[in-house]
């Protein structure tokens, strides 16, 4: 029996949320898991995940394996409904009524249905007051982790609140980590949402969806340091006048690694604004996938959007599949996109080496200059410095 089939056959948790789980499992079984014939998954195979031995969900914790915390002042939030939090923050379980009418879609969204069917209890993090420090959600799986781990978190910002949220993920195992983050930004709020991910053999599949109201500003930044199988869907819905969404990302992909990002920005009304910058660097026989879609709906007049993705192949065997998309049904809009795939420039390497810089150091400097731009827009200085230092260490 395959590992994916085992995940379908596992018994449901029997509590007051079981009706929601049963509906999710029914949708999952009706549609099945995606394969290479599924358009949104045509470059990402699940064979590695299907070969895994499914164990117990017992080796994921709220701190890194060495017990360390973030290297900057922060509010570290344990994902437990009874956790004591500072004034202005609340963490509570969601009810079955909160999922009335939820419809994730078909086969391409199988892992969202799987998450809802298997999660212990979805939680809501309510941010009612601007915190003094960044908020950190810290996840760690040790080298004995071979099971499934599911997180479903709704994050709600009250009107006018400003916050930085860091989702810090560190994996050393060989299981499945399946996470949904559902973000709701009230009018005139702002969230700088940072994902820092590094993993070993685990499959990490995440869905991030943000609903942005009038005058609110959602800024998503990710530094993905690669792993055996990563898939991240990022969806930003600009729902009201003067809403703004930005996506910035860097993915570092080494041999035997596969990283797939699918992003969508929905301009539902106008005027709204969005911008996206994404960088991928692939080495060895690593594979990167980037699909960025901008959808400007009918009636979203006077909206503006810009999408740029640049990719760097560091070996002859590395592959990057990139596809920017613009879908426009409104008038009086400005929208643009650009995509490039290239290698380190010989002239630039020669210039640095002619000034006494060793070849390896020259290559690292060029890679750092290429990859750092998306991270430099992070507003919080301490978080920005941490990610840039992490990027520099990895590239050296």
Query: Tens digit of pLDDT for each residue in 152-169?
Result: 999 999 999 999 999 999
- pLDDT given for residue 63 in this prediction: 55
Whether residue 128 contacts residue 88, with contact meaning beta carbons closer than 8 Å, is answered with yes
Contacts of 133 (CB under 8 A, 6+ apart): 73, 74, 75
Residue 142 has a pLDDT of: 87
Measure CA 257 to chain center: 17
* Boundaries of domain holding 40: 3-395
Q: Choose among 242, 241, 232: nearest CA to 264.
A: 232
Distance CA 298, CA 267 (A): 9
* Strands 135-141 and 60-61, bridge-based pairing: antiparallel
Whether the bond into 271 is cis, omega within 30 of 0: yes
Cβ of 103: how many Cβ atoms within 10 Å? 9
Do the Cβ atoms of 333 and 306 come closer than 8 Å? no
Dist. CA 342–CA 157, nearest whole Å: 40
Residue 370, judged by CB atoms within 10 A of its CB (0-12, 13-18, 19+), counts as middle
Instruction: Please state the pTM of the whole predicted model.
Output: 0.93
Say how far apart CA 81 and CA 328 lie, in whole Å.
42
Residues of the chain with pLDDT under 70: 1-3, 53-68, 344-359, 361
pLDDT for res 147? 87
Predicted pLDDT at 1? 41
What pLDDT shows up at residue 344? 66
Return d(Cα 185, Cα 141) in angstroms, integer: 30
- Token couple for 14: 């029997």
Structure confidence at residue 351 (pLDDT): 47
Question: Which pLDDT score, from 0 to 100, does residue 218 have?
Answer: 98
Q: Confirm if 125 and 152 have CB atoms less than 8 A apart.
A: no
94: alpha, beta or left? (left if phi > 0; alpha if psi -120 to 50)? beta
List pLDDT tens digits, range 244-253: 999 999 999 9
* Number of domains into which the chain is organized: 1
């Amino acid at each position: 029996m395959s590992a994916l089939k085992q995940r379908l056959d596992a018994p449901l948790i029997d509590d007051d949320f079981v009706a929601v789980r049963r509906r999710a499992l029914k949708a999952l079984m009706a549609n099945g898991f995606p394969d290479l014939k599924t358009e949104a998954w045509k470059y990402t195979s699940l064979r590695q995940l299907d070969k895994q031995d499914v164990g117990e969900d017992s080796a994921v914790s709220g701190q890194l394996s060495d017990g360390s915390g973030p290297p900057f002042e922060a509010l570290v939030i344990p994902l437990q409904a009874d956790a004591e939090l500072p004034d202005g923050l609340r963490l509570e379980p969601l009810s079955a009524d909160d999922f009335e009418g939820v419809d994730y879609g078909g086969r391409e969204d199988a892992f969202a249905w799987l998450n809802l069917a298997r999660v212990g209890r979805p939680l809501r993090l309510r941010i009612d007051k601007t915190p003094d420090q960044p908020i950190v959600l810290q996840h760690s799986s040790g080298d004995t982790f071979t099971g499934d781990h599911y997180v479903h978190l709704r994050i709600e910002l009250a009107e006018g609140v400003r916050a930085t949220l860091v989702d810090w993920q560190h994996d050393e195992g060989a299981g499945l980590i399946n996470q949904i983050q559902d973000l709701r930004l009230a009018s005139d709020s702002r969230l700088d949402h940072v994902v820092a991910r590094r993993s070993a053999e685990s499959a990490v599949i995440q869905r991030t969806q943000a609903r942005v109201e009038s005058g609110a500003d959602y800024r998503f930044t990710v530094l993905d340091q690669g792993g055996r199988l990563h898939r991240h869907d990022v969806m930003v819905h600009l729902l009201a006048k003067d809403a703004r969404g930005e996506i910035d990302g860097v993915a570092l992909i080494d041999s035997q690694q596969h990283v797939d990002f699918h992003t969508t920005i929905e301009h539902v009304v106008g005027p709204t604004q969005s911008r996206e910058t994404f960088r991928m660097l692939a080495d060895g026989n690593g594979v990167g996938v980037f699909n960025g879609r901008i959808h400007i709906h009918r009636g979203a007049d006077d909206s503006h959007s810009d999408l740029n993705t640049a990719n760097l192949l560091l070996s002859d065997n590395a592959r990057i599949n990139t596809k920017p998309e613009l879908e426009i049904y409104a008038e009086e809009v400005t929208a643009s996109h650009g995509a490039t795939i290239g290698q380190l420039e010989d002239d630039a390497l020669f210039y640095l080496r002619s000034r006494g810089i060793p070849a390896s150091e020259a290559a690292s400097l060029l890679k750092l200059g290429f990859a750092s731009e998306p991270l430099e827009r992070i507003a919080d200085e301490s978080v920005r410095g941490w990610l840039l230092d992490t990027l520099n260490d990895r590239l050296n």
